[in-house]
Amino acid sequence: MGRTGMERRKRLNLRIKRDLQVWILKRTVFSMIIGMIIGFIILYFFSHRELGETYWQAHITIRRVSDLLVPVMVAAGVAGFLGSLLLLIFFPQKIAGPVYRLERDFVGHLQEGDLTFRFRLRKDDPFQTLPQAINRAVESLQSRVREVARGVEAARKALEEGKVEEARRELQRVEEFLKNNLKF
């Protein structure tokens, strides 16, 4: 038995919506670098003081707190940066994946005029309210199209029965409905 798009095994595809993923990645890395620079500046100003004479005789000769803390902070910063970079490989995919599926599945159906298709995301996708809102909008559009179709069908029947005035009134009602309910 074949699996639908919702049941397929999720796998990482870094090629979808590559521009969006790169855009997110650049901004996140830039924010991380700015945060690290600010942290190092704060560390430098607070730790750039000489220790008192009582610590001068310690086992490890340290003239300033920064002599000890800066290498530790640099190592921690590099480790944090590399760990964050590794996580950032997966983060843009969480955004680009649903956008890609929206474009591929839903927009394709709409372009073909299929108003019966309902868009769904995987249950762990971050944009769970997006398909609900889109589906409500399409259902509203679908009901409006049905109303127009009913009016056109009623006008057609009236014309077949020779009731021209009734057909004209029905078409005017459809025209009024279109003016009030659809913008194009």
Q: Is residue 85 part of a domain?
A: yes
Model pLDDT for residues 5-32, shown as the tens digit of each residue: 444 545 656 666 677 777 777 777 777 7
Which pair of structure tokens corresponds to residue 121?
């995301």
> Which tops the pLDDT comparison, 161 or 87?
161
Q: Is residue 110 part of a domain?
A: no
Q: How many domains does the chain have?
A: 1
Q: Is residue 24 part of a domain?
A: yes
Range of the domain at 75: 11-100
Mean pLDDT over 158-171 rounds to 90
Positive or negative: CA dihedral 27, 15, 109, 132: negative
Q: Is residue 43 part of a domain?
A: yes
Mean pLDDT over 91-115 rounds to 79
CA 33 from centre of chain = 24
Positive or negative: CA dihedral 112, 11, 22, 18: negative
Model pLDDT for residues 30-50, shown as the tens digit of each residue: 777 777 777 777 766 666 555
- Most confident region among 18-22, 59-63, 117-121, 150-154 by mean pLDDT: 150-154
Confirm if 93 and 21 have CB atoms less than 8 A apart: yes
Grouping H, G, I as helix, E, B as strand and the rest as coil, residue 45 is helix
Q: Is residue 73 part of a domain?
A: yes
Mean pLDDT over 144-148 rounds to 90
Q: Is residue 105 part of a domain?
A: no
Per-residue pLDDT, 122? 76
Q: Is residue 38 part of a domain?
A: yes
Model pLDDT for residues 104-142, shown as the tens digit of each residue: 877 888 888 888 888 887 777 767 788 888 889 889 989
Model pTM score? 0.53
Confidence tier at 64 by pLDDT (50, 70, 90): low
Q: Is residue 175 part of a domain?
A: no
Which pair of structure tokens corresponds to residue 94?
């969480």
